[in-house]
Amino acid sequence: MRAAVLNSPRPAGEGPLDLVDRADPEPAPDEVLVAVETCAVCRTDLQLCEGDLEAQRLPIVPGHQVVGTVVGLGADVASGGAGVALTVGDRVGIAWIASACGACRHCRRGYENLCDEGRNTGWHRDGGFAQLVTARAGFVVPLPPGFDPVGAAPLLCGGAIGLRSLRVSGIEPGGRLGLYGFGASATCAIQIAVHRGCEVYVCTRSEAEQQRALELGAAWAGGYGDLPPERLDAAVTFAPAGSVVVDALRAVDKGGVVAINAIHLDGIPAFDYSLLWGERQLRSVANVTRADVAELVGLAAALPIVTRTETFGLDEANEALARLAAGRISGAAVLRIG
């Protein structure tokens, strides 16, 4: 199979991924083998490839927003011993969460995303920047018939973590919500929030993104540092810049929550305590659970959620990363593989 492999992190402009031929992977007893149709490119992939996010294993195949078809079953899955009903030909999604122990206090409470033994696709184990990938059968998500593979790929991380961010922020239907940054995840989140009757206020540096936010139902759109015309009940920050967290704190009302949707942040600058006083809260959003992904897939089909994408071939993975780093991707970059 062909795969884009990270051997050593370096700037996106220097082409950190090597396109190589590899032996086809074999599924372990509790795994499935998936032929990859598409894999969206996440900012987390960029941070891994550039070294901002420390690699857990090298070499590694990045990619954790995978849409594909099951083409092989591990022995336990084939016999029904894995407790998962999957068959060859099923269309599935593979997300960031690759495994969790299922027994620790976090898993028992429904927070498998916080499991200390948890592993992640494209970080601890090879991901979807390849023609084939293996995944734990219990951690793939069945996809509804008719899902467009290009449009569906960004839902598996950006969409799911956008949904979780809304939940962590505590925003209620009809509330005033701020979104700081307007990439692939925020594009999904605004559609859910507007559907729930929220007033959405978007801050982003791109005038084109501001216009896109208004088209998707935002009540107002401005730049970073601009104060929305109304005090916010909650805000979600998507940009990986700590200064944006402070901007969001300035905008939320007393008792409001700022949810930080980032696996890597460049540091939050010092700010006056008055911005936090008044029972305002800062909360982090730590990845997703399988339930988040499954709920988002259902919502996406029902609303429907529309994603904005730019497609690249597998041999153009480095170009996709470089354009993402330069802020020149409109929506989400998606690799067409199968």
Residue 80, pLDDT score: 86
Residue 21, pLDDT score: 98
Residue 202, pLDDT score: 98
- What one-character-per-residue DSSP string does 44-92 give? HHHHHHHTSS--SSSSB-----EEEEEEEE-HHHHHTTTS----TT-EE
Q: Are 36 and 64 in contact (CB under 8 A)?
A: no
Assigned token pair, 216: 């998707």
Assigned token pair, 211: 């216009």
Helix axes 290-302, 158-169, angle to 10 degrees: 100
Angstrom distances, CA of residue 202 to CA of 92, 206, 236, 314: 32, 11, 10, 33
Note if the bond before 142 is cis, omega within 30 degrees: no
Distance CA 237, CA 251 (A): 12
Residue 23, pLDDT score: 97
Residue 330, pLDDT score: 81
Question: What's the CATH fold of domain 2-152+307-336?
Answer: Quinone Oxidoreductase; Chain A, domain 1 (3.90.180)
Alpha helix positions (H), the chain: 43-50, 75-79, 105-108, 149-152, 158-169, 184-195, 207-215, 242-251, 290-302, 317-325
Domain ranges in the chain with CATH number 3.90.180.10? 2-152+307-336
Q: Which residue has the tokens 């009940």?
A: 233
User: Phi/psi at 101 (nearest 5 deg)?
Assistant: -70, -30
- Looking at the DSSP bridge assignments, the partners of residue 45 are none
Assigned token pair, 125: 């184990």
* 265 Cβ contact partners less than 8 Å away, ≥ 6 residues apart: 240, 241, 242, 245
CATH code, residues 159-284: 3.40.50.720
Angstrom distances, CA of residue 20 to CA of 61, 245, 261: 11, 40, 33
Domain ranges in the chain with CATH number 3.40.50.720? 159-284
Q: Are 141 and 32 in contact (CB under 8 A)?
A: no
Instruction: Extract the residue ranges of the chain whose pLDDT is less than 50.
Output: none
Residue 81, pLDDT score: 81
List the one residue out of 242, 236, 262 whose CA is nearest residue 179.
Answer: 236
Residue 108, pLDDT score: 97
